[in-house]
Copies of this chain bind each other. A is one copy, B any other.
Amino acid sequence: MTTPAPGLHSHVLAALGLAITAGEYPPGTVLRTDELAQRFDVSRTVVREVVRVLESMRLVESRRRVGVTVQPTPSWNVYDPQVIRWRLAGADRPRQLRSLTVLRSAVEPVAAGLAALHATPEQCRDLTERALGMVATSRGRQLDAYLVHDVAFHRIVLEASGNEMFARLGDVVAEVLTGRTHHHVMFEDPDPAAVTLHVQVAEAVRERDADRAEALTREIAVGALRELDVLAP
């Protein structure tokens, strides 16, 4: 779940990134590198490297004679997978989950439509396989096994779309699905209707029916949003 990644750098980065995204340091707070070095018991070198990374994520801004200033949320690089993970781990997971799900609802239908046009035979096969896997694990509290198939399914669709930007949302979708499963923003067993829809999407892609693939995926998205409304109002 959490990136293990050894090394002092990663440790401090994770600690600071998490703290900032969690709102522990409100925007405008200034941190001084020396102070941070002391706090984490590392050299200033390490802190500086961390700050530079945080700066590239626009979580902070470093200015001479002032220090490292925490930036307001609107300037954060919210598409950075690292930032997404930190935020999902923190206090505003609900809001985060919602805005990411809305993003999915916009992107995935279009991606599915393109996938119907571009998917390779192998991708079609994998997709069907995953859909069947979802069916097989959709009953009897097998949420974890189900999740694996679900994530794989959506990854394949995004990948098969042939669009680089869509493909790179695979990780984001994985985070969302994992997050909502592990935090019970989901029914005990997956919605049977959703499972069926996945099977049908695989079918539509196999049959190169772009419009149907798009429409069906849109239904999945609508369902996910509704579920979110019910369980995390």
A215 contacts chain B at the CB level, 8 A cutoff: no
Collect the chain B residues with CB atoms within 8 Å of residue A55's CB. 53
Residues on the B chain within 8 Å of A50, using CB: 52
Within the complex, the shortest CB–CB distance from A18 to chain B, in Å, comes to 15
A166 to B79, CA, bound (A): 10
The answer to whether B99 touches A164, judged by C-beta atoms less than 8 angstroms apart, is yes
Q: Which residue of B lies closest to A104 (CB)?
A: B165
Q: Is the CB of B106 within 8 A of A168?
A: no
Given A79-B79, A165-B79, A168-B79 in contact, is the A105-B99 Cβ separation under 8 Å? no
Indicate if the CB atoms of A165 and B49 lie closer than 8 Å: no
Residues of B within 8 A of A53 (CB): 52-53, 55-56
Interface of A is mostly: helix
Asked if A165 meets B78 with Cβ closer than 8 Å, knowing A45-B45, A56-B53, A56-B56, the reply is yes
A163 within 8 A of B: yes
- Distance, CA A198 to CA B108, complexed state (A): 25
Q: Which residue of B lies closest to A84 (CB)?
A: B165
Contact yes or no, A102 B110, CB < 8 A: yes
* CB proximity to B under 8 Å, residues A137-157: none
Residue from B79, B80, B100, B107 in contact with A106 in the complex, judged by beta carbons closer than 8 Å: B107
Chain A positions 159 through 179: 1 when the CB is less than 8 Å from some CB of chain B, otherwise 0: 000011111100000000000
B45 and A103 form a contact (CB under 8 A): no
Q: Is A181 an interface residue when CB atoms closer than 8 A count as contact?
A: no
A95-B164, A102-B166, A105-B110 given; name 4 further pairs at CB < 8 Å.
A49-B52, A100-B165, A103-B163, A106-B107
The 9 A-B residue pairs whose C-beta atoms are closest, nearest first, are A79-B79, A106-B110, A103-B165, A49-B52, A53-B56, A99-B164, A106-B107, A99-B165, A102-B163
Which residues on A are within 8 Å of B, measured CB to CB?
Answer: 9, 45, 48-50, 52-53, 55-57, 73-74, 77-82, 95, 99-100, 102-103, 105-107, 109-111, 114, 163-168
